[in-house]
Amino acid sequence: MPKINGTLLKHWLATHNWSVNRLARECTTLGEDTIPEGTLRNALAGRDPIRPGRIHLIAHVTAKYGDGLSYEALTTLDPQRTTP
């Protein structure tokens, strides 16, 4: 399972004045999958990988609310991150 580019998604959240909780709620509302807030927090922190379907859902939510983030951008790890 891939890890998500937490830096990129955190920047998107800050730019749009969203919380991780709101992103988790929107993903749950829009998709058929429930993404618990804690799971999303761990993925953003780089502690846990996240299922590809959930990354596609996050990409869909970011596209719905403005400048979307692609799956490829969300799965491209930050070059400053030391862990894969």
Q: What is the pTM of this model?
A: 0.87
Torsion sign (Cα): 34, 64, 42, 37:
negative
- Alpha carbon of 64 to those of 2, 7, 23, 71, 83: distances in Å? 23, 20, 12, 14, 31
pLDDT score of 79: 53
With a cut of 50, say whether residue 4 has pLDDT above it.
Answer: yes
| Domains with residue ranges and CATH for the chain | 6-75 (1.10.260)
Q: Around Cβ 40, how many Cβ atoms within 10 Å?
A: 21
Q: Take residue 5 and report the two structure tokens written for it.
A: 């580019």
Can you tell me which residue has the tokens 């719905």?
64
d(CA 63, CA 41): 20
In tens, the pLDDT along 42-78 reads 999 999 999 999 999 999 999 999 889 999 999 987 5
